[in-house]
């Protein structure tokens, strides 16, 4: 039997509307590099991936200027309309090289604080699993169901998890789940595509510093975490 490989997919074709900056958030500066370079460096440093497929928008003038776009382990794929389309496009760019049984870790370009420790912990936890799963965080705050501004009930916190990336699935299973879900806007992460197939991905508790840069104030927080991690 051939050795199971591990691939990384980075959706980086968003416009970053909530960030309200002059360019997509993955190209904003963070600790001496762009956000996207920091993210790709974290994946390269983990030293487990056969290649990293990055989905980039057709109108993106910034990507070819980055050193890492020419790295021998980095593959460029076309971005799509929604995040799931970008992920599927990046998966397809690996078709010649990846086997159905290989693992793929899909990681947001906008999460530059990912640690090698979390990458290795996720892989170690799921490598013998039939389906795969995702990094997630439990909620420390009490959670409420609300209608308008009226609280209707308190939610059992122990059954609620916040979804992070990477999300780790078998190449073949993930590709067919995303193909089956194409055009379905409810698919905001890879796990939901597999859930639609009736499968139950697992959660693996991740580190709280693996934040997604979404709003302007998140950049300062990401900088703080990166400096703490050094």
Q: Which of 37, 60, 82, 102 binds ligand CTP (CB under 6 A)?
A: 82
**Can residue 83 be called a binding residue for ligand CTP (CB under 6 A)?**
yes
Distance from C-alpha of 222 to C-alpha of 220, rounded to nearest angstrom = 5
**Can residue 110 be called a binding residue for ligand CTP (CB under 6 A)?**
yes
Looking at the DSSP assignment, which residues form a beta bridge with residue 178? none
147 Cβ neighbours under 8 A, 6+ residues apart? none
**Can residue 219 be called a binding residue for ligand CTP (CB under 6 A)?**
no
Q: Which is nearer to ligand CTP, 29 or 157 (CB)?
A: 29
**Can residue 12 be called a binding residue for ligand CTP (CB under 6 A)?**
yes
Identify which range of 75-83, 92-100, 124-132, 136-144 contacts ligand CTP by CB under 6 A: 75-83
| Residue 47 three-state SS | coil
Contact 167, 133 (CB under 8 A): yes
Q: Residue 213 phi/psi, 5° resolution?
A: -75, 115
Q: Which is nearer to ligand CTP, 14 or 201 (CB)?
A: 14
Q: Return the closest-CA partner of residue 218 out of 108, 127, 54, 53.
A: 108
Q: Which is nearer to ligand CTP, 142 or 215 (CB)?
A: 215
H and E: helices and strands count for the chain: 6, 11
**Can residue 16 be called a binding residue for ligand CTP (CB under 6 A)?**
yes
Q: How far is the CB of 109 from ligand CTP (least distance, A)?
A: 3
Q: How far is the CB of 178 from ligand CTP (least distance, A)?
A: 13
């Amino acid at each position: 039997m051939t050795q199971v490989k591990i691939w990384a997919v980075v959706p980086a074709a968003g416009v970053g509307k909530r960030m309200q900056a002059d360019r997509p958030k993955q190209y904003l500066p963070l600790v001496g590099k762009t956000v996207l370079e920091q993210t790709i460096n974290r994946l390269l440093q983990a030293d487990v991936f056969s290649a990293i497929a990055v989905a980039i928008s057709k109108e993106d003038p910034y990507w070819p200027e980055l050193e890492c776009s020419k790295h021998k382990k980095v593959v460029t794929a076309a971005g799509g309309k929604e995040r799931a389309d970008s992920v599927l496009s990046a998966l397809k760019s690996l078709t010649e090289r990846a086997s159905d049984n290989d693992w793929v870790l899909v990681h947001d370009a906008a999460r530059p604080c990912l640690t090698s420790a979390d990458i290795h912990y996720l892989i170690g936890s799921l490598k013998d699993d039939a389906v795969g799963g995702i990094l997630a965080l439990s909620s420390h705050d009490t959670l409420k169901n609300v209608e308008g501004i009226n609280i209707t009930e308190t939610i059992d916190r122990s059954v609620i998890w916040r979804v992070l990336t990477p999300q780790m699935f078998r190449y073949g299973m993930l590709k067919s789940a995303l193909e089956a879900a194409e055009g379905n806007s409810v698919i905001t992460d890879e796990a939901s595509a597999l859930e639609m197939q009736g499968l139950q991905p697992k959660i693996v508790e991740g580190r709280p510093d693996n934040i997604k840069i979404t709003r302007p104030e998140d950049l300062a927080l990401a900088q703080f975490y990166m400096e703490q991690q050094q």
